[in-house]
Homo-oligomer: A and B are copies of this chain.
Amino acid sequence: MAILVVGSVAFDTIETPSGRAERCLGGAATHFALAASYFTDVRVIAVVGEDFTSEHEDILKRRGIDTRGIEHAPGKSFFWAGSYLKNPNEAQTLNTELNVFQSFTPKIPREYEDTEYLFLANIDPVLQSEVHRRMPMAKLVCGDTMNYWINDHRDNLLGVLGGLDGLLINDGEAKLLAEDDNLVQAAEKILAMGPKSLVVKHGEYGATAFFGKHLFKGNGNKPRLPFRAPALPLAEVVDPTGAGDSFAGGFFGYLASQKEMTPAVFKKAMFYGGVMGSFAVERFGTERLQRLDPMEIEERFALFRELSHLD
């Protein structure tokens, strides 16, 4: 089934110990859409400026991504500059220019209104709620957020969480949102805020899913054990930017490609998330995600299994 992602399409200037990339195509929705495109049809809602040319749009179109929801506005696209020189695991933001994103009001093409799989990437929770409200057919909704919204827009964010089947955030964000330094207790508190599941991304250590009582059909009130998926130990992380969004794209894309969301499907989706994240960081920007061979994805999935399974 087609999935819809709403989020940023941007240009990034990035420096890492491996080098530097100027104004490469980035943004949460871009990484997400490219990663998900290997599993299912993808629609995008975003806004770009005049610096986003047909050449950039072709990067998405070549992967079959439906770009009719990308609004072209006067001015410049969202721009971010970051450095991983001081800390290879956490970006230091050097510059953020919201540009056309500053006054973004999502416009939803009529053709998108039958969307059943909706992903609310990291944007203002007011916009996340607005898009969700306008997707009456949505039957599986997941989302992401970040420190800024957790700290300064908490009430709006809580409004979003209540409608989510899954929230995907990293360790630090989970502990900040729950105001609890123990991951298990933080997860319980977050699930009590509304999302039916929580996927916490641990970077190089993989990810852990925590499940509420109402995620799976026929699960009754049984508590369900968390699930841990590995990440691939890598000798070189060229550019960590977008790894989490690529994880989300692989995860949600795989979920949407399956008939039913069972515990087994959810677990495989976690593995595909890790797989797509591991590809994303091999090159700057979205370069690696633009041209993957489906066979490479299956081979890496097998590698993830071998890395973590007893037999």
Identify the A interface with B (CB < 8 A). Answer: 88, 181-185, 187-188, 202, 204-206, 208, 225-230, 233-237, 264, 267-268, 271, 303, 305-311
Contact = CB atoms under 8 A, between A and B. Distances in A.
B311 A308 contact: no
Contacts of A264: 310-311
A185 B268 contact: no
A226 B307 contact: yes
Contact of A184 (B230, B233, B311): B233
B228 A230 contact: yes
Nearest to A184: B235
B310 A309 contact: yes
Nearest to A87: B181
A229 B268 CA distance: 17
Closest 5 CB pairs of A and B: A205-B205, A184-B235, A228-B230, A184-B233, A228-B308
Contacts of A225: 303, 306-307
Contacts of A235: 182, 184-185, 188
Nearest to A237: B182
A98 B21 CA distance: 54
A38 B149 CA distance: 49
Nearest to A210: B233
Given A183-B233, A225-B306, A228-B233, 18 more contacts: A182-B234, A182-B235, A182-B236, A184-B233, A184-B234, A187-B233, A188-B235, A202-B205, A205-B205, A225-B303, A225-B307, A226-B307, A227-B307, A228-B230, A264-B310, A264-B311, A271-B310, A308-B309
